[in-house]
Amino acid sequence: MSLQAHLNELQAKHKALEAELAEAMNHPASTDAEIAELKRKKLRIKDEITRLQQPHAA
């Protein structure tokens, strides 16, 4: 998989988690632990995207 394809996949996952997080935050049955886990997953993906986009990351 090329770097750009990997970045595109990560960005799609990040966007999906963002939507899932928004839905969970608006759903009264969601627990704080579930919301925190979604936030952690989203942050890990964002960190990986940032790391891969840095010029010296290759």
Backbone angles phi, psi at 3, to 5 degrees: -60, -45
Q: What is the pLDDT of residues 18-42, one digit of tens each?
A: 999 999 999 999 999 999 999 999 9
For the cut 60, the answer to whether the pLDDT of residue 58 exceeds it is no
The Cβ-side half-sphere exposure at 9, using a 13 Å CA radius, reads 7
- Is residue 6 within 8 A of residue 51, CB to CB? The reply is no
**Residue 25, pLDDT score:** 94
Which band of pLDDT confidence, cut at 50, 70 and 90, is reported for residue 55? confident
**Residue 36, pLDDT score:** 97
**Residue 1, pLDDT score:** 79
42 lies in which domain range? 3-57
Question: Total domain count for the chain?
Answer: 1
